[in-house]
A and B are shown apart, each in its own frame.
Chain A
C-alpha cells in the first residue's frame, strides 16, 4: 500500500480528492499513521507522535466547517505553540511544557480546517543547521540516512520529503526553513519579516524570526502562505499589508521578469555540482523569457558576522526566561536561588544554546555594546541598502540556497564556524527582512538534492512564487522522491497522481481500516 499513500500527495491534489469525496480525512490519517510507524523510527522527523490523541482530535473536529485546508494534516515544528500540546523547542529545558495558548498561525490553520500534527524535530531552540542539536535525537535525511536533513527545521523538511507529512510549518531565523528544504529536495519559504505573525513562535532572535511553509511544491507553498499570512494585532512587528491571492498570482507568466545573479555569491567552498545546477537553472529561466543579469550585494561578506552578533544578542535575552522558576525544567536540589538558576541552565541547555547565550551576553555587555551590537546594527542597515539597490535593477535575486548538498551527520558538529558558514547564502535575507524561497533545482551525482534560492523585495512573495512556479512547471526535480519515503521512492521522478487513487484503492483502504 505504500505506493498509494495519501500523505505522498500535495495539498492541492488532496483537496481535489476530498472535494470529490474520493478520499476521507480518516483515510489520510490512516496513511499518515502507517507511514509514521514504518519510517519515523528510522528518520526521526517527529520527536513524538501521539496517535491516540490525533485520532481523538480528528473525531472532535469532524464537524468543523470546510476551509481552504479542510482535512489537510499540517506538521508543526516543535517551537510553535499549540494549546495543550507539548512544545519543547527540541530542548530538555522545555520538555513537558504544554503552552496554554495557540500561536496565531495555529489559530489560522485551525480556522482554515487543517488538522495539526505536532512535533517536528529541530535543533534546540532553532540553533543549528543540521537538526543534530536536538535534545531528542538526530533527524536523518531521507535521501541518504547518513546525511543531515539540514536545520533547524530539519524535522519538518524531512517529514515533507519522506511523505511523513503533506506539508509543514518551519521557522527561519538565518535559513532554518530554506536550507533544510534544499537538503531534503522540497520547497521552503521564509516570508518577509512581518508578513506572518510571530505570536506563539518561541523566540530565537525576535528581529529575524519568521514562520513559513515547507511543502512538496510551489502551489502548496502559496496555499499555506495564503492561510498563515496577514496582520496580527498581537504581534507589533506584523505588517498591516494586504495578503495577495498567492495561488492566482503564482500563475502569472514570468516573461519579462528580471533576475539578478549577485556576483558575491560565487564564493570559495561552493560545491561545483551546486554551481552547475545554478547555471542550468539560469538557462531554464532564460528559456522562459526571463532576463538574467549580474547584480551586486557588496556587503555580503559581512552578513555571517553581523548575523551572529545580532542573533545571539537577542537569543541571550529571549532565553533568559528559562530559569526553572515558572515552567519547564528545574534542576533538583535545595540550594540558593543562584544555585537553582545555575544548575537549571547548566543541565537544561545543550552545548549550542550555551555557546550562543555566552556570545550574546558578551556582545551586549557594558563596554562591548558599541563595538559589537551597535556596529552590527549599522552593518545590517547597509546590507538592507544593498538589497534595496539590487531590487532597483531586478525583480528576483537568484542564488544557491546552500554552498553544498546535505553534509554527513557529525561532519560539522564539532566545528561551529563551518556549521555557521552553511547558512552563508540564507542569512542576508533575514538581516534585510526580505522574502526568500528555496526550491529543488537539481541533484548531485550521489543523488542528493540541490536547492536554489529566490529572493524578492519586501512583501513581494507573489513575485517569488510566480518565479518559482514557472521554474517548477518547466522542470521535474520536484517530482523525484527519496528512497526512504512513504511512496516508496522513484529516483527517476514521477509522483502518484490524483488519478492513481482509484475507487478500488479506496476500498483497499477501507478494508485496512477494519
Chain B
C-alpha cells in the first residue's frame, strides 16, 4: 500500500509538468496581454509607458523564455508577482482567498453529505413512498435551478426582506476575533453554502438512493436477511459499505471542484475566493496567477483522487493495491 502511494505520488510530477506546459501554452496563445487589461487603456497615459512596462515584465520575450523564467522560479516555490494587482505577490493573493474557499467548500460539502446521504438512504428503504417522491422532486429541482438564480432568490427573500442572513461577504466587519468571528463567519456562510451545495446534495441523494436500492436487491443481502440478521445490521454492515463506493469516487472529484471555488456563487455573494480570482486572472491575462492556481488545483485533484482510491480499499477489502 505504501509503495502504491509513493508510486502514485511520483507519477504526479510528470503530470503536473505537462499541466504547466499546456496551461502556459494556452495562456500565451490567447490574444492580448496583462497590460492591455480587460478594459481599454487610459487615454491619458502615453502608450509608450505601457510598452516600457511590457518590456520590463518580460512580456515581449519569446514564449519558451517566458516559460523557463516562470518554471525555474516556480520550482523554487516562488510564483512571482501578479501582473495586474500591481506588484502584489501571487502567493499572497492566493493565500488571502484560499482560506475562504476552503471554509465555504467544506461547509457546503458538509451540507451535501449530511443532507444528501441520509435522504438517499431513507428513500431507498422506502421506495415509491410519498417521501421518496418528494425527495426525487426536490432532487430534480435542485439540479435544474441555476446557482446564481437560487442565490439571488435566497438573498432577496432571506436577507434583504427578512434580514435573517447577511447578503454579502465573509464577515460583517474587520477586527473581530475568537468565537464572535467564528459565528459571524458561519452566519455569512449559510446562504452561499446552501447555494453551492444544492446541486451536490441532489446528486448525492440520487446516487445514494439508486446504489442502496441496487445493493438491497443483491443476493448476499438476501442471504444475510435469511440468516436472521436485523434490518439495521443489514443496512449498516453490508449495504452501506458497498453502496458508498461510487459516492467516494464522486467525492474524489468533488474535492477539486469545491476548492476550485464556485465562480458564480462567489460572484453573487461577493465571497472572495479562488474561483473569482481565477476567472479575473484569465480575463486579465494575469498569467502568473493563472499558472499558480492551475498548479494548485491540479495537485488537489490528483490528491483527491488518490485519497478516493485509498478509501476504496478501506471500505471494500476486496480492493487491494500493491
The judgment on whether A and B are partners is: no
